[in-house]
Structure 1
Amino acid sequence: MNSTTVFPTISFDKEKGTLSISGVSIPENPPAIFEPLIQEVIEYCKNPAPKTNIIIDLDYANTASTKWIFHILERFERIYIDKHVVVVNFFYADNSIFNTGRYYADNLALPLDFIKK
């Protein structure tokens, strides 16, 4: 899905084990965007690639979007706990996005690599 002024760009290559969420995320109906992705992640986690790479590079996300992204990361946390390699690169340009990433890091077992833009 390509980015618009309200939707993030979402790219999920299940064969390569790469998920990227970037841009701005302020959709009026977040379930319409994120529920299909969660279903894809659930299926992926049944037979994940040897290494899963997650890139989160948001310029802005509303509260609803950050909650949905948290739920997506929870799915990957499960395979990480089961000893699968999961790498999360979290890009940030300001304190608001950084604090969102800190919340994820503090509340998930997934290691997040913070990268300042």
Structure 2
Amino acid sequence: MNALYLEPSEDSPKVYLDYSSGKLSIEGRSFMEDTTPFHQAIVGWLRTYFQSPQPLTVMELELEYLNTSSTKMLLDILFELNKFYIFGNKITIRWKYDPDDEDMEDLGREMADMVDIPFEHVVFS
């Protein structure tokens, strides 16, 4: 299975989903108004990946800003991961945020409350 790499742009984050390591990452800023193509690419890749996943899957999220449609997209991706977690796959979410960014810290805690997947909250500098 190939990795999925989406190059960051003015309004979208960098995405790297690596089958061989089980490491998934989304980082940067997301101002996308139409998240559909981005969302479909990620969810489609995840559905294929979880047909034969690695023993541990780690999703690292290091986001500086999300607009409303991007927040909804991210939540949909977390709900998709939650389905696989409920079916017995070992998944961890690592939410990374700047210590001065209370909004992203709060968003990570809110999202953690919406899913069953273990969340690690990591402050970076």
Of the three residues 2, 20, 33, the one matched with 2:7 is 2
Of the three residues 19, 23, 29, the one matched with 2:28 is 23
Report the TM-score, using the length of structure 2 for normalisation: 0.86
**Mapped partners of 2:77, 2:70: distance in 1:** 11
CA offsets, 1:60-84, max 9 Å, x none? 1111111111111112212222222
Deviation at 1:113, TM superposition (A): 0.4
Determine whether 1:70 maps to 2:83: no
Q: Which ranges of structure 2 fall in alignment gaps of 5 or more residues?
A: 1-5
Give matches, 1:29-44, under 5 Å: 29-44=34-49
User: Identity of aligned pairs, percent?
Assistant: 26
Name the SS for the 1:46 alignment partner.
coil
Count matched residues: 117
**Mapped partners of 1:28, 1:77: distance in 2:** 25
Q: Which ranges of structure 1 fall in alignment gaps of 5 or more residues?
A: none
RMSD of Structure 2 on Structure 1 (CA): 1.3
CA contact (8 A) 2:33 2:69 kept: no
Determine whether 1:115 maps to 2:122: yes
What is the aligned partner in structure 2 of residue 99 from structure 1? 106
**Mapped partners of 2:13, 2:113: distance in 1:** 24
Name the SS for the 2:88 alignment partner.
coil
What is the aligned partner in structure 1 of residue 3 from structure 2? none
CA offsets, 1:12-37, max 9 Å, x none? 11222111000001113111212111
**Mapped partners of 1:75, 1:34: distance in 2:** 11
What is the aligned partner in structure 2 of residue 59 from structure 1? 64
